[in-house]
Structure 1
């Protein structure tokens, strides 16, 4: 079928497709937007190398004077304004902004080859320049987005474009390479362990096998085409709980007829590989040039790096105005769940009730942009502290001028047992005093029977493992999970900030993983997970050069910090779980010392946690004191 035939069919179909094919639930909002906006769709915006990016522009009707702009850039299908993008378009236009939405290079009708995060330093910069030059533009652009639409903003902020006036990155962790104490390389790794969410996510977004149309098509022809051909590949459904069990890891896409794309290259790339510096990730070796309102969540992937990035910019940005104008909100929701917090009911995150979480993200975002991009500044600074965070357990919002609050002081709890901390029914303890008994806890980690993931900081894994907070007692009943609990607290203890964990470990395997999970146990025994992390032993001395374990040797293992604000109430216990897997959230270590991604055989590891004499395994809690 040639292009003329395609265009003819498109013109016929156009007559029966209404409201730009928006979803039924969005039709009312779309009509409201069209009533108040003029639209210029399928503008093929040229980049410096001649590649053109598909862009839509919405402006308030009868607008007087130059307009500030809110820009949303995305790898997802925006041929139809829907859900979050439609909501933001309507919000922007209603409040006197032009709204520009653009598909990343190589996505849908945007030309070129796709790269994760969409070339923020070049395509992002050129897009800002294009907006700045439009006759309707005030020259002030604010960038907005959640998840992928937030993550590209970080690399762009390092370029300090003169039009980039303000930004709202929400749930932006996968845009961070290395920052502070975290080397996650865009959430691909945690503690050197592959987070399977990224492979699962790639299955749905890297399928760039759609047809391409000639570059010579006019804007009107492209508008017609887009209404009937959205170029969105519909991938077959996959049971990822089952798929993640299959070995080797590198064969996952082959088994389900997926397009390999960057998947095969990335599963082989180690966390310290210099290739991570070549893409769109932001690293803490860069400057940062834009005032930002950060929206983060306690049960979202990469909340720790997000908090460290906020601190990095606050302390290190070369421009004092940028340093002094970083604001952050930390809510108790899941990934990008700010707009799903109930207005009139309690928020349930997994199984844990957070109470009434009052938050209006849209009002907050507009107030932020109004302050920076309008002549009549809003009262954002009068109405907001530098940091606003939700304390779970107390189920209330608090404010601070720094993160963590200066009132948080370190309290160390030491692991202890008589050598039988295995399971919920063992004798593991968390205590204020060091242990003098030369005891250790032993367990067997079998990669073919890994500890299952239940809750935590999870997103985007198509249901392979749930996110949020759940009762962990079924997990804690396993013999390969060590459980250390404090005595019931005699008074409330608020833990707010970064939590440091040091374990002394040994194994008869060359390499293995160690997991830790912080848990809040109520008087009835219900054990809600607060946060968790993992560390691959071969990377204990850094991510550039793996160092393998020797049987009989004890090694100090320092984990990437946990992060939370949680009130452990009087009568509750503080608990730490230690094991070697949380699957399929984290890819299991096969314990061979090999590549892991190309292996099908596993080694059972006999692992030990030491907590006496010179080996004081411990957790350091940032306890907020009353000033």
Structure 2
């Protein structure tokens, strides 16, 4: 009976965050013309307002307020590098819903984008431009002095460094899929997702081609007349169409540092970043959030399991809770984690399929939670977001249901270690690799494979985004990869009962190589009774950084080293009859840049060499994976 009561209480707590403070209009069903008509009916709009920054650069800002509003208004700020002057999609729906609920809603272009003045820098100078914008909003006669920041991806990432500044008007924030705004937090030093384990990710090369535009057109700085700027904005967008690129072909270009200039692009942000190491001090000079910056804003985090940076996102959630530079802020951190790709919250609902896998009914009232949160902090309605709301609401894949916890990982998550074992022939799905709870005795054979950077292991699914279509994120069958002899495959026997994993999954590998440097990629897989091998998560690590990102060192042929990849972060049930599988290889392309195995400046090299790599798992050289299992 106690267990039944506890389950009912947990379900009630989970649903408490799902109930909106008012029923949201389903604007997704509106045509663009109907949305324009609705906006004209309910809102007063000011377009093209140049909000002055401390260096006299003006940021183009569109302001939408409820018609006939009386008294000061709370404000929701959406800052973006994208073209949102012509409202569309999710931004339009948030504008309409927010105005209907009595909020002023602001859409602002980052500096150097579209109608904003100045030179663009990635994340839009959050610590200065963000701070100055909050000061400007709080000083307006229509403002109640409380601002909430909202957005997904780029519209979320800039919020993080700003939160460290604890601006008095920054009352609350909703960062959604915000990982690219994180520099170093805890075990993750990805510098805005530029790296995983010191290996550059290809997605940013594609993204920067579309966003960074040093040849952009812009209005004269002397044109400050608000009405004229609004009129120009009505029939111009300053949104150039760059030549289309076949990214499936271009992503293979070597050397990597010429990937964009080889197409005729002028040098810009990519060329500035590509030669940095993960420990380069230059990462501290941009707009990234780092763990020593403190935290000053209550936050409702929305994240997804198949995102590019779910690990850093949940690590930052913990950092914000522990910071205590502002005790009220640290005491009010909440997280929601959904089983979809980057920013795909609109896909939550009945019969959700992610990649090729059925995730069941993932319904969650995202908008209800967001507006309850803002009503709590911007309007002072404590009942809108009840204090009993669980700190973490997460979707347990495999079990296909929402669950809640007081912390991340859940308190009842305990480590379960599984050792990589074989008779020396773990190569491919058809080898003898096994995952066992017992460590191998001395003398057990070593698993060897040959990694050729000119024939890398292909990426199939997993967490990714924004990559021009070269990788489709989500859960896909990994058997086409596991058929390769350069992929080591380790699998448990079928499980007698379900194993629930929730937290950070750690791998420790004992490795050697014939090369001076190489990569080691790890993948966690759920094998269904019919043999389908669903990817749960993956990670990778560049061997030269095994002693620290600030201490790169070559490998010596034949010497055994310890590699600790950054954790895989997930919540998934391995059902009864399923098997837990781990794959180990040395590439995951095109998600990650290939290591050419030379030990030299990889990004500026064109020719690679073949590496003979090995995974050791005998005696003192044990390789294993540690799963956070709910007990």
User: Could you say whether these structures have the same fold, taking a TM-score greater than 0.5 normalized by the shorter chain as the test?
Assistant: yes
Correspondence for 1:576 among 554, 570, 582: 582
Whole-angstrom distance in 1 between the partners of 2:361 and 2:309: 25
The reply on whether 1:264 has 2:271 as its aligned counterpart is yes
Match of 1:414 in 2: 419
Query: 1:125 — aligned with what?
Result: 131
Q: Give the drift of 1:25.
A: 4.1
* Contact 2:429-2:479 at 8 Å conserved across structures: yes
- The match for 1:378 is 383
Q: How does 1:97-112 map to 2 (within 5 A)?
A: 97-112=103-118
Question: Any residues of structure 2 matched to 1:324-335 within 5 Å, and which?
Answer: 324-335=331-342
Residue 28 of structure 1, CA deviation:
1.7
Where does 1:197-346 land on structure 2 (aligned, <5 Å)?
Answer: 197-217=203-223, 218-341=225-348, 343=349, 345-346=350-351
Partner Cα separation in structure 1 for residue 339 and residue 505 of structure 2: 17
Structure 1 distance, partners of 2:36, 2:345, is 21
Describe how 1:151-162 pairs up with structure 2 within 5 A: 151-162=157-168
2: CA distance between counterparts of 1:382 and 1:430? 43
RMSD: 1.2
Structure 1 CA distance for aligned equivalents of residues 218 and 468 of structure 2: 29
Residue 382 of structure 1: how far off its partner (Å): 4.7
Q: Note if contact 1:495-1:567 (Cα within 8 Å) is conserved in structure 2.
A: yes
Task: String of CA shifts for 1:560-612, please: whole Å, max 9, x gaps.
Answer: 11111100001100000000000000000000011111111110000000001
2:52 is aligned to 46
5+ unaligned residues in a row in structure 2: which ranges? 1-28
Aligned equivalents of 2:352, 2:347: Cα separation in 1:
9
- Deviation, 1:83, is 1.0
SS of 2:107's equivalent? strand
Aligned to 2:403: 398
2:19 corresponding residue in structure 1? none
- CA distance in 2: counterparts of 1:375 and 1:528, whole angstroms: 45
The residue that corresponds to 2:485 in the other structure is 479
CA shift, 1:438, in A, is: 2.7
TM-score by length of 1: 0.95
Partner Cα separation in structure 1 for residue 387 and residue 54 of structure 2: 41
* Corresponding position of 1:90: 96
Equivalents in 2 of 1:524, 1:211: separation in Å?
A: 56
Selected match of 1:171 from 171, 174, 177: 177
- Retained in 1: the 8 A contact 2:62–2:85? no
Q: CA deviation at 1:162?
A: 0.3
| Structure 1 unaligned blocks of 5 or more | 1-22
**CA separation of 1:377/1:32 partners in 2, compared to 1, >3 Å: closer, same or farther?**
farther
Work out whether residues 422 and 444 of structure 2, in 8 Å CA contact, stay in contact via their aligned partners in 1.
Answer: no
Distance 1:267 1:25 in 2: 42
CA deviations over 1:504-561 (Å, ceiling 9, x no partner): 0000000000000000001110000000000000011111121110001000001111
Residue of structure 2 in register with 1:464 after alignment = 470
Contact 1:415 1:430 in 2 (8 A): yes
Length, aligned pairs only: 601
Are the equivalent residues in 2 in contact too, given 1:37–1:60 (CA < 8 A)?
yes
- 8 Å CA contact 2:339–2:397 kept in 1: the answer is yes
**Residue among 603, 609, 612 paired with 1:597:** 603
Structure 1 residue 201: deviation in Å? 0.3
Match of residue 618, structure 2, among 591, 612, 616: 612
Partner of 1:551: 557
Deviation of residue 24 (structure 1)? 9.6
Q: Distance in 2 between matches of 1:556 and 1:351?
A: 35
Q: Output the CA distance in 2 between the equivalents of 1:287 and 1:453.
A: 37
Residue 371 of structure 2 aligns to a residue whose secondary structure is helix
